[in-house]
A = this chain, B = another copy of it.
Amino acid sequence: MARIALDAMGGDHAPAAPIAAALLAIQELGPEHQIQLVGRASVIQEQLNAQLAAAPALLVEAATRFEIVDAPDVIEMTDKPSVAIRGKPQSSMAVGIRLQTEGRSDAFVSAGNTGAQMAASTFILRLHEGLSRPAIGTVFPTAKQPVVVLDAGANVDCSAAELVQFARLGSVYARDILGRPNPAVGLLSIGEEAEKGNAAVKEAHQLLLGAHLNFIGNVEGRDIPTGSCDRGPIDVVVCDGFTGNVLLKFYEAVAPMFFGMMLKAGVSREQLGSVVHSLDYEKYGGAPLLGLKGVSIICHGKSSPEAIKNGIFAGIRAVESHMSQHIREQLTS
């Protein structure tokens, strides 16, 4: 059973996309799961009515499984992160996240302003002992199984100790959310050898050798698309948030570039279909902010209803697997 607070005002296509996502979710989820739609109550009600008018079969279901939680402030995509804490304390983000500290909700999901979500999540939920910032855990599709890459942008200047924390956070994520029993952790560098890399990476390599993780050594950029290196499959790739963010955005853009070239070369949309689908980020349903005493799932601002629905599912998996508790245990082990 999980109660998911969904930011109805967050994302480029809000409130339509989050509310459509909630309607998709309840059709797939068991009746024990509840969704809290957080935002301007009147706007949410109006949008919900409009969507239910087109799907009257969902009326009863929606009435029993949705709760509208009013939050008069709206955070814009262009707002600074701090606005979520100080400027707009009654935003859908602040209100939606606060439901967890009040014991009324188990997870928060948003496609809104990422910086604001990170600030509000950290401020309201707090971090586990020993962490200074949360990390963003993302999933990269590969030729084999998907791989967790972190940090993807929350921490730009990283110490070796922080890279080791990412390894711990990523291991729990891979185990709890992706179902990898003993996640293989690679440290992203520019050569396999322990002495290759920048200063933080070289130090982190030594620390990881004694970290009681399934550390498989350095991995390189080329090992991510294949999902493996000469030491076997990779489950987690650890890097600083600058490198991770650059790679993530590069990957997101390179696939459409390939597909565009394929179409120009005469490949049909049908032929492309299965490949596009297997590389589709939307399947992986948002990136959790790892290290919080609670659950906060970041969805892409451009998310479709399907993508936000998968964000809701990721939130449920995080709750049901007790990911946050496992992270606390991993950090203190």
Contact = CB atoms under 8 A, between A and B. Distances in A.
Interface of A: 142-143, 153, 156-157, 188-190, 197-199, 201, 220-226, 239-243, 245-258, 260-262, 265-267, 271-275, 278-279
A275 B275 CA distance: 16
Given A222-B250, A258-B258, 7 more contacts: A143-B261, A156-B190, A190-B249, A198-B242, A225-B256, A226-B253, A250-B250
A271 B254 CA distance: 19
A143 B256 CA distance: 10
A320 B223 CA distance: 38
Contact of A267 (B143, B226, B250, B262): B262
Contacts of A188: 246
Copies in the complex: 2
Given A221-B245, A221-B247, A245-B190, A271 B267 contact: yes
Contacts of A266: 271
A243 B251 CA distance: 14
A164 B123 CA distance: 37
A249 B222 contact: yes
B253 A254 contact: no
A224 B253 contact: yes
| Among all A-B residue pairs, the 4 with the closest Cβ atoms | A221-B249, A221-B250, A222-B253, A221-B246
Nearest to A273: B265
Main secondary structure of the interface of A (DSSP, over half): helix
Given A143-B260, A157-B198, A225 B241 contact: no
22 contacts: A143-B257, A143-B261, A156-B197, A156-B199, A190-B241, A190-B242, A190-B249, A198-B240, A198-B242, A220-B246, A220-B249, A221-B249, A225-B253, A225-B254, A226-B257, A243-B243, A247-B247, A251-B254, A262-B275, A265-B272, A265-B274, A266-B271
Nearest to A268: B267
Contact of A246 (B156, B247, B256): B247
A226 B259 CA distance: 12
A247 to B, nearest CB: 6
A225 B273 CA distance: 21
**Of A188, A197, A198, A272, most B-chain CB atoms within 10 Å:** A198
A275 B156 CA distance: 35
A222 B255 CA distance: 10
Contact of A250 (B197, B247, B252): B247
Contacts of A245: 190, 221
A273 B264 CA distance: 12
